[in-house]
Structure 1
Amino acid sequence: MRRMSDQPAFRDSAPVEAAAVGASLDPTPATENGSPRRSYYAGRTLERARTIEDLRRMAHRRLPAFAVEYLEGGAEEEATLQRNLAALAGYRLLPRALVDASHRDQSISLFGRSTPLPFAIAPTGLNGVFWKDADVLLARAAARAGVPFIQSTMSNDRMEDVAAVPNLRHWWQLYVFGPKEIRDSLIARAERAQCEALVLTVDAQFYGDREWEQRRFAHPGRLTIGSVLDAALHPRWALTTLSGGMPSFANAIDWVPKDHRGFFESAFWIRANMDHALDWAEVARLRGLWPRKFLIKGVLDPRDMERAADIGADGVILSNHGGRQLDWTVSGLDMLPEARRRVGDRLTVLVDGGFRRGTDVLKALALGADAVLLGRATLYGLAAAGQEGAERAIDILREEIDRDLGLLGAPSVKAMSPDFLTR
Structure 2
Amino acid sequence: MKHITCIEDLRQVHMRKVPKAFFDYADRGSYAEETLRANREDLQQIKFRQRILVDISQRDLSTTIIGEKSNLPLILAPVGSTGMQYGDGEILACRAAQAAGIPYTLSTMSINSIEDVAENVEKPFWFQLYVMKDRGFCKALIERAIAAKCSALVLTVDLQVIGQRHMDIKNGMTVPPKLFSPSNIIDIATKPGWVMSILGAKRRNFGNIAGHLPGGQDLASVSGWVASQFDASLNWKDVDWIRSIWPGKLIIKGILDVEDAEEAVKTGAQAMVVSNHGGRQLDGAPSSIEVLPEIADAVGSQIEILFDGGIRSGQDVMRALALGAKSCMIGRAYIYGLGAFGGPGVAKAIDLIANELSVTMGLCGVNKIAEIDDHVIAV
Q: Deviations over 1:269-325 (max 9, x none)?
A: 202221111100111111221111001111111111111111211110111111111
Of 277, 282, 285, the residue aligned with 1:329 is: 285
Deviation of the 1:257 alpha carbon = 4.8
Does residue 258 (structure 1) correspond to residue 215 (structure 2)? The answer is: yes
Give runs of aligned pairs for residues 18-417 of structure 1, distance below 5 A.
46-217=1-172, 220-223=176-179, 224-244=181-201, 247-259=204-216, 261-417=217-373
User: What is the SS of the residue equivalent to 1:48?
Assistant: coil
| Alignment-derived partner of residue 12 in structure 1 | none
Deviation of the 1:332 alpha carbon = 1.7
Structure 1 counterpart of 2:159, one-letter code: A
User: Which is worse superposed, 359-368 or 157-166?
Assistant: 157-166
**C-alpha distance in structure 2 between counterparts of 1:169 and 1:337, whole Å:** 31
1:199, 1:295 within 8 Å by CA — same for their partners in 2?
yes
Distance 1:266 1:315, change over 3 A: same
Deviation of the 1:166 alpha carbon = 4.3
**C-alpha distance in structure 1 between counterparts of 2:21 and 2:351, whole Å:** 28
**C-alpha distance in structure 2 between counterparts of 1:386 and 1:265, whole Å:** 28
1:108, 1:118 within 8 Å by CA — same for their partners in 2?
yes
Distance 1:342 1:174, change over 3 A: same
Structure 2 counterpart of 1:242, one-letter code: L
2:111, 2:203 within 8 Å by CA — same for their partners in 1?
no
Q: Deviations over 1:180-214 (max 9, x none)?
A: 10111111111111111001101112111001111
Distance 1:109 1:243, change over 3 A: closer
2:94, 2:121 within 8 Å by CA — same for their partners in 1?
no
1:56, 1:381 within 8 Å by CA — same for their partners in 2?
yes
Structure 2 counterpart of 1:176, one-letter code: V
**C-alpha distance in structure 2 between counterparts of 1:218 and 1:102, whole Å:** 49
Deviation of the 1:335 alpha carbon = 1.3
**C-alpha distance in structure 2 between counterparts of 1:243 and 1:208, whole Å:** 33
**C-alpha distance in structure 1 between counterparts of 2:332 and 2:220, whole Å:** 21
**C-alpha distance in structure 1 between counterparts of 2:203 and 2:102, whole Å:** 29
Deviation of the 1:116 alpha carbon = 0.9
Deviation of the 1:235 alpha carbon = 1.4
Q: Deviations over 1:75-114 (max 9, x none)?
A: 0000010010012012100122221101101011112222
User: What is the SS of the residue equivalent to 1:372?
Assistant: strand
Q: Deviations over 1:325-376 (max 9, x none)?
A: 1101112211111111111321111011111111100000011101000101
User: Which is worse superposed, 236-245 or 368-377?
Assistant: 236-245
**C-alpha distance in structure 2 between counterparts of 1:125 and 1:318, whole Å:** 19
Deviation of the 1:64 alpha carbon = 1.3
2:91, 2:121 within 8 Å by CA — same for their partners in 1?
no
1:122, 1:150 within 8 Å by CA — same for their partners in 2?
yes
**C-alpha distance in structure 2 between counterparts of 1:115 and 1:363, whole Å:** 19
Q: Which has the higher contact order (CA 8 A, sep 6+)?
A: 2
Deviation of the 1:268 alpha carbon = 3.6
> Is the radius of gyration larger for structure 1 or structure 2?
1
Give unmatched runs, 5+ long, in structure 2. Answer: none
TM (norm. structure 1) is 0.86
Structure 2 counterpart of 1:394, one-letter code: I
1:117, 1:147 within 8 Å by CA — same for their partners in 2?
yes
Structure 1 counterpart of 2:323, one-letter code: L
